[in-house]
Structure 1
Amino acid sequence: MLLNFVTANNERLSLKSSLKNLSVVTLLSITVSSFTQAAEDESLKKPQAIHQSHGIAMHGDLKYPDNFKHFDYANPDAPKGGEIRRASRGNFDSLNPFILKGTPASGLGYLGQGLFYDSLTTQSEDEPFSQYGAIAKTIIWPEDRSYVTFKLEPNAKFHDGEAIRSDDVKFSFETLTQQGHPLYASYYGNVTSVETPDEFTVTFRFKDTTNKELALIMGQLPILPKHYWQDKEFNKTTLTPPVGSGPYTIKSLDPGRSIVYERVEDWWAKDKGINKGRFNFDEVKFEYFLDDNVMIEALKSGVFDFRVENSAKEWATAYNGKLFKEGKMVKEMIMHDNPSGMQAFAFNTRRAPFNDIKVREALSYLFDYEWTNKSLFYGSYTRTDSYFENSELASSGLPEGKELELLNKFRDQLPEEVFTKEYKIPTTDGSGNIRNNLRQAIRILKSAGWQLKKGKLVNSDGKQMKFEILLAQPTFERVVLPFQKNLQRVGIDVNIRTIDVQQYIKRHQEFDFDLIVNSFGQSSSPGNEQRDFWHSSQADKKGSRNVIGIKNPVIDELIELVIQAPTREALVTRTRALDRVLLWNHYVIPQWHLPANRVVYWNKFDFPKGVTTHSLSPNTWWYDPIKAEKLK
């Protein structure tokens, strides 16, 4: 399952399922059976069972039956109407979210269902990984998962009234993988052919039968109108509104400043069970701001309505006073049960000195999380010690059982600590005095060939260790400055550089940095996206999410084992092994997490209560005209 496409620095980075999320999925288990024909004494394959359903689950059964009325986390009686105004940081210069060039406007969606584009299937937010038909009415696959067939809804239409046909699906796949962002070629790399036997049937065939996610992730393919794009240059940015197929169309835009989406009243899919109680606002507007402080004041002034707050300081201090006491504005913690993933200082291992595991380990002793959490965050966070934090997928203790058996196969290629020590992040007493950590860092650096001379940390050539920490938001500087001070105490020359979002995205995509703050979002069902995060094949592909530059054959093999996991139990075991190997290679300095969304909004909305999903979904909220009238 795929999450978060590009992230900028914040105290707590929001995980987009843009991918989280960018959310993304998994499949059923494979069994291959055979029988012996005694009379001829030769083995023949037993005819495969062919599955045909309204949806498909990664492992186990679907929660929702055929013709279900609505998702449990949506209110089918939610009224339609009103508007919700949201905020984005930076600006935008493109309405094409599918290419590497440009900064696309918020809300378009680039994988799975967004506001503007629909896909073959929609993911359920209250299952580990299940997909239900959207543009596809029926999903067909064989027991060995060697292909998947989608039967399209014959009444599915683009916004201009043209029917969505199998040719559009094939065109979308070929265009995205050949001209789109490099992510698509990687994500759909196991597809060998796309067949369109008739106007409303499309089949994807796969290289092998070991990847159980493939049938599900093909459903996430956003569907583009062939008749619109075939005479246009797809790989260029554009501010001309294209033709979509989702619940909203573009009403208006002020380039770089705002974009307004308008609900499609006669949207062909509005009465499907997957959409009942969702997409309730007549208009969704995104306002753009260059500064978080300005954004917060704009929210309290009524310029926009809804914000997910990522700063503990702002959460504690900015949202108080008359508006909140009178109930005109609301601040609320909404829990989620999605893995928190890994937010961290991420090393660029393509560059020295971060290509040395000992250097990476040593620097982890110099980040004083305990003081940071107490002094800056009001003690509101928990330290992260897993790439799959807040889930059963996270490793802990020493490896044992099947996980140990798996890791033993790579024993001579792994750090010995994988087997002998429980992974523990360096800690402090929170006082700000990290003398013991400084000593330990210097000892490790010395073993890596670095010496502290005249207040400078130098190598055998006498060159001082120096690097840059690249940020996209000034608000994160208060976190990095104490870290910089500790680095300087061991003789490292560290520069903090904050740049605008567009520059940051470009440098992020081109791996033009030393150390950044990055978020690696995870789902409850990891799969193909792990290749893009950690696989050697992605390390030098511009725009990939392997920002660290990992090239590790053991990790490559563990990724494939995760993708090929035949059962949920095997998936958990293999993911824990992958997690453990990533941790002991010290590719990042872990930061913190919070298993909840801190939401601030004007009190003119309502949403389903008492439900916990994998992500915060304003698409299930609705406008309350009675509350709105009171605010006037």
Structure 2
Amino acid sequence: MITYIRPALLRSGLFGLLCVAALSDAAPRHALTLYDEKPKYSADFSHFEYANPDAPKGGTLRQAGFGSFDSLNPFINKGVAADDIGLIYDTLTTNSLDEPFTVYGLLAEKIEKGPNNSWVRFHLRPQARFHDGQPVTAEDVVFTFETLMSQGAPHYRGYYADVAKVTAESQRRVRFDFKHAGNRELPMILGQLPVLPKHWWEGRDFASGSLEPPLGSGPYRVEEVQAGRTIRYARVNDYWGKDLAVNRGFYNFDRLVFDYYRDNTVALQAFKAGHFDYWLETSAKNWATAYDIAAVRDGRIIKEEIANRNPTGMQGFIFNIRRPLLQDRRVREALALLFDFEWTNRQLFNGAYTRTRSYFDNSELASSGLPDKAELKLLEPLRGKIPDEVFDQPFDLPKTDANGIIREQQRRAYRLLTEAGWQVRDDRMVDADGKPMKLEFLLVQAEFERVLLPYKRNLADLGIELEIRRVDVSQYINRLRSRDYDMIVSGFGQSNSPGNEQREYWHSASADNPGSRNFIGLKDPAIDSLVEQLIAADSRQELVTRTRALDRVLLWGHYVVPNWHIKTWRVAYWNHLAHPETTPRQDIGLTTWWKKPDAAAPVAKPVDERSGKPAGEAEH
């Protein structure tokens, strides 16, 4: 967390104004916004605009899980947690999905903030209950926080590091005091805390993975578990919060079922055969070619593209700079030059994608051109500690003719590698000691192999060996946690209000934390400084400026081979499902969907073992 303290107001003439401001800060409110602007929804609002309060209840939503699962505890750094297990828990507040960053009370009916965000207090609703009927109390909140800090996944200790203490002031009032004032986001982050029942966990080993259904307070409970294969959730009929404005029109299915598949290709065929109801398509090739079947043509399966107004973040081939081979920026840049996006997009993706050119693409937060005066004010003190190109060159990526010929990129890559001390000997790229350049790409997604094989050939043309090693989900997660990889394909998701989570991505404090998303292994004081300044932004404009400055430094570090993005979610679903006319700006909003009362779910057909296609569903 950031150690940012405003200078005290010392003039006696301002004392009265300060007192008024303090009283205003401390006034209980139904919602919090990042810069204390007015929330979109008033205290007496009836429901979110993107939810249908009259949505019918009933039916089952069947989805596909990927790989397997062996735990129902998503809060520890052990095992693979089941999909959507978070739905059994309620949090102190809930996010609005059509505002940049606004939280409304859920377990908490009111929230107070101290002067300059030095503390936050949550007033719990008297009707809040766990599924066994026990009330949710301030003691449960304290227990949850202390348990996550002492036994939870390591990232909690970084995320909540600036909390000095948590106090149960009464049965329904809990206060968090901070080590430093000025962190605008921390009160809102604490509102996202899922509250665990102290009475249920006492006597159980929180730190061990388990498939025992835990007790929660949320809209669903675990109904059935088949280890590693299926998990079924049942809607809690007497759910305490079902009539709250923040929940009206949500959680409409009586049951949620996840059946797990080890291969997305098999899962897609199972979807088309009617084995489950909803599919988020991530493959452009599949979207263009895999749905020419009778069920789509006659309207039983609906294909829809829903606008995605979120920053796309950065998906890419991520370099682990903990490896000595990848610590030289010139080597990383050379490796990035050898990825031919234009050919890949045309040949493999039907031209569906746009190249990602920022860690905050598709938003005003993305940097472009040269830094402006406000950015330079942040960057100049770091001159000599960050790449010189940040100051005088707009960041750009090579663009090819999509014909598979990348001679210019190869020449540039070769120059960079020779500058870094590498040379070609006997058709192999070797270092001064004759050791060949060899990289392992750790992969869990089978469908990504077709993307990596052309990249592997381009690397081989310069004598660089790339080994593609595909492993199962459990192995992948274990190797990710132990940082045992040279390269992976992953992403750094972003919101319209980046903040404390940036420490988990880029800050030195998270580099050695096995539970963090600092996949790169960054330990750079200059980047630490930019992250801390971003978190301490005092206005929207400051946030934009500081995010752009950080973006530039990350881009010029060549820590990833940028991939691609699309500005829509591509979803396919069977026509017994429906969703509100208004979709949230920042999410698909699946928790607001429902089953049409008079529509029947499809009868599942077998999948042909030889073709892998649904029996009787010929594709054209």
Q: TM-score band (shorter)? A: over 0.9
Shift of 1:34: 3.3
Tell me: CA distance 1:503–1:629, structure 2 relative to 1, closer, same or farther (3 Å): closer
Q: Within 1, Cα distance between the matches of 2:115 and 2:12? A: 21
Q: Is 2:450 aligned against 1:478?
A: yes
Shift of 1:186: 0.9
CA contact (8 A) 1:250 1:259 kept: yes
Q: Within 1, Cα distance between the matches of 2:557 and 2:6? A: 35
Q: Within 2, Cα distance between the matches of 1:536 and 1:35? A: 36
Partner of 1:10: none
Q: Within 2, Cα distance between the matches of 1:91 and 1:68? A: 41
Q: Is 2:460 aligned against 1:495?
A: no
Q: TM-score, normalised by structure 2?
A: 0.94
Q: Is 2:85 aligned against 1:100?
A: no
Q: Within 1, Cα distance between the matches of 2:74 and 2:509? A: 24
Tell me: CA distance 1:429–1:169, structure 2 relative to 1, closer, same or farther (3 Å): same
Letter in 1 for 2:545: T
Letter in 1 for 2:417: L
Q: TM-score, normalised by structure 1?
A: 0.92
Greater displacement, 312-321 / 470-479? 312-321
Q: Is 2:224 aligned against 1:252?
A: yes
Tell me: CA distance 1:321–1:629, structure 2 relative to 1, closer, same or farther (3 Å): closer
Tell me: CA distance 1:31–1:72, structure 2 relative to 1, closer, same or farther (3 Å): farther
Q: Kindly provide the CA deviation profile for residues 508-545 of structure 1, in whole angstroms up to 9, marking residues without a partner as x.
A: 11110001101110011000000000001111111211
CA contact (8 A) 1:190 1:206 kept: yes
SS of match in other structure, 1:67: coil
Letter in 1 for 2:508: S
Shift of 1:630: 9.3
Partner of 1:323: 295
SS of match in other structure, 2:309: coil
CA contact (8 A) 2:274 2:603 kept: no
1:463-612 correspondence runs (5 A): 463-612=435-584
Tell me: CA distance 1:271–1:106, structure 2 relative to 1, closer, same or farther (3 Å): same
Letter in 2 for 1:531: R
Q: Is 2:26 aligned against 1:54?
A: no
SS of match in other structure, 2:378: helix
SS of match in other structure, 1:626: coil
1:145-544 correspondence runs (5 A): 145-544=117-516
Letter in 1 for 2:423: Q
Letter in 1 for 2:27: H
CA contact (8 A) 1:335 1:612 kept: no
Q: Within 2, Cα distance between the matches of 1:612 and 1:152? A: 27
Q: Within 2, Cα distance between the matches of 1:37 and 1:527? A: 34
Partner of 1:11: none
| Same amino acid, percent of matched pairs | 49
Q: Within 2, Cα distance between the matches of 1:228 and 1:611? A: 37
CA contact (8 A) 2:441 2:486 kept: yes
CA contact (8 A) 2:49 2:582 kept: no
Shift of 1:627: 3.0
CA contact (8 A) 1:31 1:143 kept: no
Q: Within 2, Cα distance between the matches of 1:31 and 1:439? A: 52
SS of match in other structure, 1:244: coil
SS of match in other structure, 1:177: helix
Partner of 1:34: 9
Q: Kindly provide the CA deviation profile for residues 437-469 of structure 1, in whole angstroms up to 9, marking residues without a partner as x.
A: 111100010111111122111111111111101
CA contact (8 A) 1:364 1:426 kept: no
Q: Kindly provide the CA deviation profile for residues 237-295 of structure 1, in whole angstroms up to 9, marking residues without a partner as x.
A: 11111101100011111111111111111111000000000000011111100111211
Q: Is 2:50 aligned against 1:73?
A: yes
Q: Within 1, Cα distance between the matches of 2:303 and 2:6? A: 50
User: Which of the numbers 37, 41, 49 marks the counterpart of 1:64?
Assistant: 41
Q: Within 1, Cα distance between the matches of 2:401 and 2:291? A: 30
Q: Is 2:63 aligned against 1:86?
A: yes
CA contact (8 A) 1:155 1:163 kept: yes
Shift of 1:177: 1.0
Q: Within 2, Cα distance between the matches of 1:543 and 1:285? A: 28
Q: Kindly provide the CA deviation profile for residues 385-414 of structure 1, in whole angstroms up to 9, marking residues without a partner as x.
A: 100111110000000121122111211212
Q: Kindly provide the CA deviation profile for residues 579-619 of structure 1, in whole angstroms up to 9, marking residues without a partner as x.
A: 00000011101000011111011000111124342111210
Letter in 2 for 1:238: S
Letter in 1 for 2:84: G
Q: Within 2, Cα distance between the matches of 1:44 and 1:610? A: 46
Q: Kindly provide the CA deviation profile for residues 464-514 of structure 1, in whole angstroms up to 9, marking residues without a partner as x.
A: 111101110211100000000111111112111111111111111111000
SS of match in other structure, 2:417: helix
Shift of 1:32: 7.2
Q: Within 1, Cα distance between the matches of 2:31 and 2:39? A: 7
Shift of 1:340: 0.5
Tell me: CA distance 1:629–1:149, structure 2 relative to 1, closer, same or farther (3 Å): closer
Tell me: CA distance 1:187–1:570, structure 2 relative to 1, closer, same or farther (3 Å): same
Q: Within 2, Cα distance between the matches of 1:356 and 1:37? A: 55
Tell me: CA distance 1:250–1:194, structure 2 relative to 1, closer, same or farther (3 Å): same
Shift of 1:231: 1.0
Tell me: CA distance 1:31–1:69, structure 2 relative to 1, closer, same or farther (3 Å): farther
Aligned residues: 598
Q: Within 1, Cα distance between the matches of 2:602 and 2:535? A: 52
SS of match in other structure, 1:295: helix
Letter in 2 for 1:56: L
Tell me: CA distance 1:208–1:45, structure 2 relative to 1, closer, same or farther (3 Å): farther
Cα RMSD for the two superposed structures: 1.8
Q: Within 1, Cα distance between the matches of 2:8 and 2:42? A: 28
SS of match in other structure, 1:240: coil
Partner of 2:615: none
Q: Within 1, Cα distance between the matches of 2:366 and 2:439? A: 31
Q: Within 2, Cα distance between the matches of 1:210 and 1:589? A: 35
CA contact (8 A) 2:274 2:602 kept: no
CA contact (8 A) 1:30 1:566 kept: no
Partner of 2:609: none
Give unpaired runs (5+ residues) of structure 2.
605-620
Q: Within 2, Cα distance between the matches of 1:37 and 1:600? A: 64
Shift of 1:35: 5.8
SS of match in other structure, 1:53: coil
